[in-house]
């Protein structure tokens, strides 16, 4: 099946990879390799989809990931109900969810615009349609 929105598909692939990295990381220790990968995926996702809102959410992912993956001390992020690492992970996952939701919205907007464009195109007339119109 031919996909109409390869940029959205590419961004969704980066989103899935980012989620996988964040889901697997406990935040107990620094992981600079994972941080480099997150930053690279965020950069690629931002390049794939030209949308300011998406870029803002990806910047949040980068910022919170830098805090979670570059430091083993997360005390300043600690909340009454969760550790600092868990709080950072939740912030990253929240930003990723908003990014993913925006991709869905962009696809629906594009589909809607495409349907509207097709509806404006006059249907092809057959020879019998033309003969009927001449009578």
Q: What is the pLDDT of residues 8-45, one digit of tens each?
A: 999 999 999 999 999 998 877 899 999 999 999 999 99
114 or 12, greater pLDDT:
12
The answer to whether 56 touches 65, Cβ cutoff 8 Å, is: no
Residues 90-129, buried b or exposed e (16+ Cβ, 10 A)? ebbbebbebbbebbeebeeeeeeeeeeeeeeeeeeeeeee
Residue 75 banded pLDDT, cuts 50, 70, 90: confident
Query: Across the chain, what does the average pLDDT equal?
Result: 87
């Amino acid at each position: 099946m031919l996909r109409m929105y390869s940029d959205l598909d590419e961004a969704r692939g980066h989103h899935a990879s980012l989620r996988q990295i964040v889901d697997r990381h406990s935040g107990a220790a620094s992981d600079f390799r994972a941080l480099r990968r997150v930053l690279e995926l965020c950069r690629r996702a931002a390049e794939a989809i030209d949308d300011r809102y998406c870029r803002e959410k990806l910047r949040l992912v980068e910022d919170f990931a830098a805090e979670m993956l570059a430091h083993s001390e997360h005390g300043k992020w600690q909340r009454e109900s969760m550790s600092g690492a868990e709080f950072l992970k939740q912030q990253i996952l929240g930003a990723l969810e908003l990014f993913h939701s925006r991709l869905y919205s962009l696809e629906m907007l594009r589909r809607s615009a495409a349907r509207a464009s097709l509806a404006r195109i006059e249907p092809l007339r057959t020879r019998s349609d033309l003969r009927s119109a001449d009578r």
